[in-house]
Structure 1
Amino acid sequence: MNSLCQRLLSVLFLTVLLWAPQAHAAERFDDTPRIAVISAFEPELVLLLDKLEHARKYSANGVEFTTGTLQGKPAVLFLSGISMVNAAMNTQLALDRFNVSHIVFSGIAGGVNPSLHIGDVTVVERWGQYLEVLMARETAPGVFSLGERGDTGFPHFGMMYTRPVKVKSAAEPKIHKKFWFDVDPELLDMAKGLRNVELSACDAAHECLNRQPRIVIGGNGVSGPAFLDNAALREHVFAAFHANVVDMESAACAMVAYSNDVPFIAFRSLSDLAGGGEGANEMHTFMNIAAANSAKVLLAFLDAWK
C-alpha cells in the first residue's frame, strides 16, 4: 500500500471517530442529596409512598422513581424488582440518576434463626450471597470434591459449596474476593437507638400472630436468587452463616453500595420461616403484617435521623 493510500485511510478513520456517537453518562434527574428507599415489590413500597410528601415521578429503563420528602428527609423511592440481578441493576440505576447519599431497604424476608418469629423486624450487621456456589463433582455416591479449587471457607450443602464474589470498589479498585458486605456502622448505631416502635400483630383482615413482634438488631443476613422453602437448607443456612434472615435482594444492594462507597442498611421483617414452619409456607398469610412492620421501623428510623 503506497503512502497516499495510507494517509487517506488515516483521514477516513479519524473522520469516523469524530462523527461517531459518543458514549456518555446518563444525566441525573436532579442533584438534591437523597436517601434511596428501596423495596422489592409493590406491597412493601406502597406503605412508604403513602407517607411521601411533594411527590414527583421519573422513569428510566422502565423503572419508576418517586422523589419527595419522607419523614422530613429528601428521598427517592423505587422498586428493586424481585431477586438479585434486578436488585443490583436497579440500585445502580438509581445511583447513576440521582445524588444518593444513603441506601435503605424495607421489605419482608424468611426467618432462618429459630429464635426469631414471624412479624419480627431484623436489622442485621452484614449480608452475604449464600447461593454464589461451586457445584462440586460427585466422586462417589454422596461424596463431593472441589479438586484443585480448595476449601471455600463455609460448610457445604451437598454439592453446593458457597464461595465469595470478586469485586472492585471506589476505595479498593483492584479485584478482590469478598463474601460479607457490612451495613454502615453509623446507620446501625442509629437503628440500635430505636425505642417504642409499635409493631403490628394483626392485619386489616384480622389475621393475627400468636405473639407480639419485636425489633432484632445485629447478626447476619444472606440473599440468593431462590425462594427458600426447605427445612434442611434453612438449618444449613443458620448453621453455616449464623444468619437471622434470608431474602432475594439485600446482599445485591449491599454489594452495589460497597462498590460505590455509599452507606447501606436494610430493615427486613419475617413473613415466613423459610420452610421451617408447620404446613404450607406462611408468606402469603402474614406478608401484610411483615411489610407493615418493616415500614414502621424504617419510618421511625428516618424520623430519628438527625
Structure 2
Amino acid sequence: MKPLALCLCLFALPVSSHAESRIAVMSAFQPEWQLLKSQVTNMESTAINGTEFITGTLAGKPVVMFLSGISMVNAAMTTQLALDRFDIDTIVFSGIAGGVDPSLSVGDVVVAAQWGQYLDSIFGRARGEDFVIPPWMDTEFPGFGMMYARNQQVASSRQAEPETRFWFPVDAALLSVAQELPGTVELAKCDPAGTCLSRSPQMVIGGNGVSGAAFVDNAAFRAYAFETFGARVLDMESAAVAHVAYANQVPFIAFRSLSDLAGGGEQANELPTFFGLAAQNAATVVTEFLARLE
C-alpha cells in the first residue's frame, strides 16, 4: 500500500512548470487586461481548469497574469487556484470600479488601504417601520433598509482559531510604493475615440474600498456606502482577493480606476462611455508601480 499512497500524494500536490517566484497581476475580465497583456514579453500560456494563465515579464518583473472573472466567488476561486499552482509572492489587481466618494470623478485611480465585503449581509426582520437582526447576531454598521453588513470569519495559519474581521488591509510596503506615484504618472483625459472628461484624472491613495456581488447604479445606496463604510470606491472582486491573500499571507494591493459613479451621476451610468479610458488609466498606473518595485 505504501507505493500507492505515495502516488496519490504526488498527484494531489500543486503542479506548476513555472517555479520562479512571480507577481500575480489580475483583472476581472478581458477588456481590462488587454493593455497589460500587450506589454508582456517572453510570454507563455497555460490553461488550468478553464482559466488561462500567462507567464512572462512585465515592466521588468516576472509575472503571472490571469482573469479573476466577474464576482466575488470567481475572484476568490481563481486567486486560490493561482496560489496553489504558481509561486506567487505578490498580488496586484488592475481594473475599473464605481466611484463612491463625492470628491472623486470618472477616470480617477483609487488605491484603497483596506477592503471590506459590504454586501455579505444579514437581512433583518421588519418591526414596525424598522428592521432588526436576530439577537444572536451582531453588526458594526447601520443597515440600508433590511440589509446589515456582517463580518467575515477567516481560518488561516495566522492563529489557532478562526478570527472575525470586516476589513482586509492591503500590504503596507506595497501601499508605500503606490504613494510615490501621484504626480509622476500621466493619466488619460480622453479616450482614443476623442471622448474626453471635463477635468484631468487624479490618483488617490488610501481610504476604504468595498466589494460585493452587485453592480451598483443607485444614488441612495452609493451615499449609504460612503457614509457607512467611508468607501471611496466599490467593485465586485477586490475584497474577495484581499480576503484570500490575507488568509494565505501574500501581499496584496488593488488599483481601481473609476469608470462610473455608481448611480451618483446626473445622466445615465457612465461605464459604457468611459470604460476604456478607466481601464487604460488603471493599467498605466499598474505598469509604473511594477517598474518601481524592488
Give matches, 1:27-38, under 5 Å: 27-38=15-26
Match of 2:201, as an amino acid? P
Q: CA deviation at 1:115?
A: 0.2
1:189 equivalent to 2:176? Answer yes
User: 1:165 pairs with 141, 152, 155, which one?
Assistant: 152
Q: 1:37 to 1:236 in 2, by over 3 A?
A: same
Q: Deviations over 1:216-267 (max 9, x none)?
A: 0010000000001111100000000000000000000000000000000000
What does residue 139 of structure 2 align with? 152
- Amino acid corresponding to residue 190 of structure 1 in structure 2: V
1:59-81 Cα shifts (integer Å, max 9, x gaps): 10100000000000000000000
Report whether the alignment pairs 1:97 with 2:76.
no
Q: Residue type matched to 2:152 in 1?
A: V
Query: Equivalent of 1:221, from 205, 209, 214?
Result: 209
User: Equivalences for 1:1-306 in 2 at 5 Å?
Assistant: 24-140=12-128, 142-194=129-181, 195-306=183-294
Give RMSD over aligned pairs.
1.6
1:201 counterpart SS class: coil
Q: Aligned-pair distance for 1:149? A: 2.7
Q: Give the letter for the 1:287 counterpart.
A: F
* Cα separation, partners in 2 of 1:35 and 1:21, compared to 1, 3 Å: closer
Structure 1 pair 21–303 and aligned structure 2 pair: CA distance change class (3 A): closer
**Alpha-carbon shift at residue 25 of structure 1 (Å):** 2.5
Which amino acid is the alignment partner of residue 176 of structure 2? Answer: D
Q: Secondary structure of the equivalent of 2:187?
A: coil
What CA distance in whole angstroms lies between the structure 2 residues aligned with 1:247 and 1:169? 25
State the AA in 2 paired with 1:106. Answer: S
Secondary structure at 2:186 match in 1: coil
Partner-residue secondary structure (3-state), 2:63: strand
Return the letter of the residue paired with 2:52: E
Q: Secondary structure at the match of 1:301?
A: helix
> After the TM superposition, which parts of structure 1 deviate over 4 Å for at least 4 consecutive aligned residues?
17-23
Task: Structure 1: state its 5+ residue gaps.
Answer: 1-13
CA distance in 2, matches of 1:222, 1:29: 35
Secondary structure, counterpart of 1:270 in structure 2: strand
Gaps in structure 2 of 5+ consecutive residues: none
Letter in 2 for 1:292: Q
* Residue-by-residue CA offset, 1:16-64 (whole Å, 9 max, x unaligned): x969966612312321000000000111111100110100000101000
Normalised by the length of structure 2, the TM-score is: 0.95
Give the residue type in structure 2 aligned to 1:144: F
Task: State the SS of the aligned residue for 2:135.
Answer: helix
- Aligned to 1:149, the other structure's residue is in SS state coil
Provide the rounded CA distance (Å) in 1 between the counterparts of 2:252 and 2:137: 32
Equivalent-residue separation in structure 1 for 2:136 and 2:209 (angstroms): 26
**Paired residue type of 1:175:** P
Measured in 1, the distance between the counterparts of 2:256 and 2:160 equals: 30
Count how many residue pairs are aligned between Structure 1 and Structure 2: 291
Corresponding residue SS for 1:116:
coil
Structure 2: which amino acid aligns with 1:162?
A: A
CA distance in 2, matches of 1:72, 1:156: 46
Alpha-carbon distance in structure 1 between the residues aligned to 2:13 and 2:80: 13
Structure with larger Rg:
1
Aligned partners of 2:5 and 2:93: how far apart in 1? 44
- Given the superposition, is the C-alpha separation of residues 173 and 92 from structure 1 closer, same or farther in structure 2, using an over 3 Å criterion? farther
